[in-house]
Amino acid sequence: MRPSIDEYFLKIASVVAERSTCERHHVGAVAVKNKHILATGYNGAPAGLKDCLELGCLRNELKIPSGTRHEICRGIHAEQNVIIQASLHGVSLEGSTIYLTHSPCVLCAKMLVNAKIQRLVTFGKYPDDTFLSLFKEAGIQFDAVEKPSTIITHLE
């Protein structure tokens, strides 16, 4: 069966998440406008720097719960990277939809508000839902949907 547009881009976000260098969560983001991919991002260390796969995870070592003490992590969130990638290539995210494998933390939500996105679609839940009130105030549509099938179907 042909996937819906939301399922299609969420599957792509899931593949993007496979590039993550985080030991805790693999998160992927895809920015889309008019059914066209503008940029992608995944969570991991800044480009060219050692990542948690090489160094280990300080947050795990210190037993820091997910959703707290973001400053301890050397990683950049997928949402931050999708904004950075768009800006590096001169692409505006204004009016776009972000497809994300997890809901955003409040810090990323603030950045997405300033990037003037129109909608965010996700199937995963981050342990912080503070973003909901920000999105409501900013008029950003939020849709939590079922996780799409991980099976890739195509004709031979």
Active site amino acids: 79
- What DSSP string describes the chain? -PPPHHHHHHHHHHHHHTT---SS---EEEEEETTEEEEEEE-BSPTTS--HHHH--HHHHTTPPTTS-GGG---B-HHHHHHHHHHHTT---TT-EEEESSPPPHHHHHHHHHTT--EEEES---S--THHHHHHHHT-EEEE-PPPPS------
Tokens representing 136 are 């409501």
Q: Helices 131-138 and 106-114: crossing angle, nearest 10°?
A: 20
Measured distance CA(16)–CA(26) in Å, rounded: 9
